[in-house]
Amino acid sequence: MRSVSPWSSLEVDKMAVEVEVLEGFGRDAALQRKWMQMWETLGKRILKMPKWMQDIVLEDINTAIRNRIATMEMINQHAKRSH
63 and 30 share one domain? no
At 80, the pLDDT band (50, 70, 90 cuts) reads confident
CB count, 10 Å around CB of 3?
A: 5
Q: Among candidates 52, 58, 24, 63, which has minimal Cα distance to 39?
A: 58
Determine if residue 13 is left, alpha or beta; phi over 0 gives left, psi from -120 to 50 gives alpha, anything else beta: left
Question: 3-54: per-residue pLDDT in tens?
Answer: 444 433 444 455 555 555 656 778 888 899 999 999 999 999 999 999 999 9
Q: From CA 44, how far away is CA 54, in angstroms rounded?
A: 11
Report the number of distinct structural domains present in the chain: 2
Q: What is the per-residue pLDDT for 37? A: 95
Q: Which domain holds residue 21?
A: 1-48
Cα-Cα end-to-end distance for the chain: 40
pLDDT of residue 50: 98
Q: Are 3 and 39 found together in one domain?
A: yes
14 vs 56 pLDDT, higher one: 56
